Amino acid sequence: MASYQFISKQPEETKDFAKRLAGLLQAGDVIALEGDLGAGKTTFTKGLAEGLGITRNVNSPTFTIIKEYQGRLPLYHMDVYRVEDAFEDLGFEEYFEGNGVTVVEWAHLIEAQLPEELLLLQLYLDENGARRIVAEPKGNRYEELCKEIF
Ligand SMILES: Nc1ncnc2c1ncn2[C@@H]1O[C@H](COP(=O)(O)OP(=O)(O)OP(=O)(O)O)[C@@H](O)[C@H]1O
Ligand SMILES: [Mg+2]
């Protein structure tokens, strides 16, 4: 399957990318984010939230795994870094199949619970401080999305 990528030289570029994507999202879309600490997963999510018309500040709460925000579509922001049991059922499925858009930071930690079709975004820290964002669409819907935004 094709993969798509771009280099983001600053936080605003990551946010702008997310904002463009946000404009194309629909209910039930799922975005899985991978990347080391500080790679820009939450920065991306902030941009996505802005693009969905959400005015509340999005952050990565230390002990809250799922946060919900209201915009053009609801945004379900999950950070599963602290999920210790990959199979623990915290009701993820209801969000994936819900009326909003779900973003999951550290998605591989709940891999078995993820939907088959999603947009996987890998964020890499380059040596010069830039971020490389690599998209791997799983399923036609996400393939089409990638063709539009890259
Ligand atoms: N091109 C860039 N894209 C995104 N963030 C960048 C970029 N350049 C620098 N940064 C900075 O890197 C940091 C990214 O932090 P962020 O919280 O988004 O990462 P994260 O992947 O969510 O980390 P964590 O794993 O701790 O949740 C921010 O301080 C941001 O300003
Ligand atoms: Mg984060």
Q: What percent of the chain has pLDDT over 90?
A: 93
Ligand 2 is a single-atom ion; what residues have CB below 5 A from it? 41-42, 60
pTM: 0.97
pLDDT in tens, 56-115: 999 987 788 999 999 999 999 999 999 999 999 999 999 999 999 999 999 999 999 999
β-strand partners of 123: 133
Cβ atoms of residues 60 and 35 within 8 Å = no
With a cut of 70, say whether residue 2 has pLDDT above it: no
Count Cβ atoms within 10 A of the Cβ of residue 95 and give its class: 0-12 exposed, 13-18 middle, 19 or more buried: buried
CATH class of 4-149: alpha beta
Counting ligands in written order, the one closest to the CA of 40 is 1
The minimum-distance atom of ligand 1 relative to the CA of 14 is: 3
Domain boundaries, the chain: 4-149
The residue among 127 and 41 whose pLDDT is bigger is 41
**Which residues line the pocket of ligand 1, CB cutoff 6 A?**
8-11, 13-14, 35, 37-43, 60, 105, 130-131
